[in-house]
Amino acid sequence: MPTPSLQSFPLPVIGLAAYSGTGKTTLLEKLIPWLGAKGLRLGVVKASHHSVDPDTPGKDSHRLRQAGSCQLVLSTPERSICYTEKSESSDPDLINELQLLDCNRLDLVIVEGFRDADFPKIELHRCGLDRPLLYPEDPNIIAIAWDKPLEDEPGIPQLNLNQPEQIAEFIYCFKNRFKEISQ
């Protein structure tokens, strides 16, 4: 069976790439309602370098996972939660994480993190953090959102990090271009 790739993923995928503390999650909280109001059904994949377990020890779902279930879907009237246990701890591969999504219920996927993966990204840059720019070394960065205009012209669209509606509009247009190309 061929290895799946991001190029064959059926939905547009765009990322927010930045160093920790830049405000990726804060921006996403503003983008999601705006894009949702445009009628888009959004999926989000968020990378974390920390081990998290939102399950509660002693609850049935936790007990079944501890008993050795490789995957468990906890289904409630409000939501479903899919737990997938990994046989070994390693950095997740973005395409494997994307394949956990139900593509029939989505129009677009926004990825927070996976900074080094090969897919289209918007770089978020805050001058006060004194971190290097990512776009010169990453050809997958298709725009840069800053809090202070860059001195040098980057050769890619520049967006204002303090105007989330501008960034949301860019993402909305990206999604529409993907749709035109894939038809």
Q: What is the pTM of this model?
A: 0.87
Domain housing 130: 6-47+92-182
91 or 15, higher pLDDT: 15
Query: Of 4-8, 15-19, 133-137, which range is least confident?
Result: 4-8
Same-domain status, 108 and 159: yes
Same-domain status, 59 and 143: no
Domain total of the chain: 2
- The tens digit of pLDDT for each residue in 53-103 reads 677 788 888 788 888 788 878 888 888 878 787 777 777 889 989 998 999
Same-domain status, 27 and 116: yes
The answer on pLDDT for 164 being more than 80 is: yes
Q: Which residues of 130-146 are buried (b: 16+ CB within 10 A; e: fewer)?
A: eeeebbeebebbbbbbb
**Range 147-157 average pLDDT:** 91
Q: Give the separation between CA 49 and CA 19, rounded to whole angstroms.
A: 12
Question: Does residue 84 form part of some domain?
Answer: yes
**Range 101-118 average pLDDT:** 94
Question: Does residue 1 form part of some domain?
Answer: no
> Which run of H or E residues covers position 66?
helix 60-66
Same-domain status, 176 and 142: yes
The pLDDT mean for the chain works out to 88
The answer on pLDDT for 146 being more than 90 is: yes
Same-domain status, 96 and 168: yes
- The tens digit of pLDDT for each residue in 24-50 reads 999 999 999 999 999 999 999 988 765
> In CATH, what number is assigned to the domain containing residue 147?
3.40.50.300
